[in-house]
């Protein structure tokens, strides 16, 4: 239980960090999704029910701070997590990290931007090419940076759980 509280606390801190530093990280109104990276990492070893609950709560928090539609990030996080749960990752290698996070990013931002631009003149593919892929790759690059810096920490966590 304590472990879950610590993980939830880290998630909340990440939401705050994400927006605290957003003026520095903002490229074309896109900020790297640290929460998505975090959700992917904990989904590898944590219980599915707990990660779904965390994806929902952190998504709601992201929406509150981001001032977009409340519930949109929660729904997108959950769908992304659901899709990534289909891949059974036994060991967190760099390849698994890249493909897993990329899949999550693509699913999340496809859902997210399709809802945001629901009544705009942008076509599905235009949204995918203009926003989904760009945002997913940006998140992946930042995720890779974080992962390579703290790889040992994650390994210790995964061995411990």
Partner 1 sequence: MRKILIFFYNLKPIWQFTFFFLLSIVILMMNPAKALYPIKANGVSLISEIRNITSYVKTNRSLKKENAELKKQLIKEIFLKNYYHDRFQENNRLRRLLKIPPLNDFNYIFAQVVGSSPYIGIKAFLINKGKNDSINANDPVISTEGLVGKILEVYDHSSLVEILPDRNIKISAKILRNNERGILKFYNEDLLLLDYIPKTISVIVGDMVVTSEISQIYPPGIKIGEVVAIDKKPQEHFQKVYVLPYVNFNNVNEILILKEK
What is the closest distance, in whole angstroms, from the C-beta atom of residue 42 to partner 1 in the complex? 15
Q: Rank residues 72 and 102 by Cβ distance to partner 1 and give the closer one.
A: 72
Q: Rank residues 1 and 159 by Cβ distance to partner 1 and give the closer one.
A: 1
Q: Rank residues 82 and 157 by Cβ distance to partner 1 and give the closer one.
A: 82
Q: Rank residues 106 and 140 by Cβ distance to partner 1 and give the closer one.
A: 106
Among 150, 159, 112, residue whose Cα is nearest residue 132: 112
What is the closest distance, in whole angstroms, from the C-beta atom of residue 119 to partner 1 in the complex? 4
DSSP label of 128: I
What is the closest distance, in whole angstroms, from the C-beta atom of residue 131 to partner 1 in the complex? 13
Q: What's the first-to-final CA gap in the chain, in angstroms?
A: 12
Q: How far is residue 102's CA from residue 69's CA, in Å, rounded to a whole number?
A: 24
What is the closest distance, in whole angstroms, from the C-beta atom of residue 128 to partner 1 in the complex? 16
Contact set with partner 1 (CB under 8 A): 16, 19-24, 29, 47-49, 52-53, 55-56, 59-60, 63-72, 74-75, 78-79, 81-82, 85, 115, 118-122
3-class SS at 77?
helix
What is the closest distance, in whole angstroms, from the C-beta atom of residue 30 to partner 1 in the complex? 12
How buried is residue 59: exposed, middle or buried, by Cβ count under 10 Å (0-12/13-18/19+)? buried
Q: Rank residues 62 and 136 by Cβ distance to partner 1 and give the closer one.
A: 62
Strand partners, 30: 27
Helices in the chain by DSSP H: which ranges?
2-20, 22-25, 34-43, 48-66, 72-84, 94-116, 124-127, 133-149, 151-160
């Amino acid at each position: 239980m304590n472990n879950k509280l610590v993980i939830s606390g880290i998630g909340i801190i990440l939401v705050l960090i994400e927006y605290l530093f957003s003026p520095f990280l903002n490229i074309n109104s896109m900020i790297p999704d640290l929460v998505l990276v975090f959700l992917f990492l904990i989904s590898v070893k944590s219980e599915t029910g707990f990660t779904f609950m965390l994806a929902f709560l952190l998504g709601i928090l992201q929406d509150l701070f981001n001032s977009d539609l409340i519930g949109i990030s929660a729904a997108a996080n959950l769908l992304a997590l659901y899709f990534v749960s289909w891949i059974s990752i036994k060991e967190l290698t760099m390849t698994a990290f890249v493909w897993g996070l990329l899949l999550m990013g693509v699913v999340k931002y496809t859902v997210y931007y399709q809802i945001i631009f629901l009544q705009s003149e942008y076509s599905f593919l235009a949204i995918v090419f203009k926003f989904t892929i760009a945002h997913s790759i940006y998140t992946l690059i930042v995720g890779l940076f974080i992962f390579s810096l703290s790889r040992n920490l994650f390994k210790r966590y995964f061995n411990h759980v």
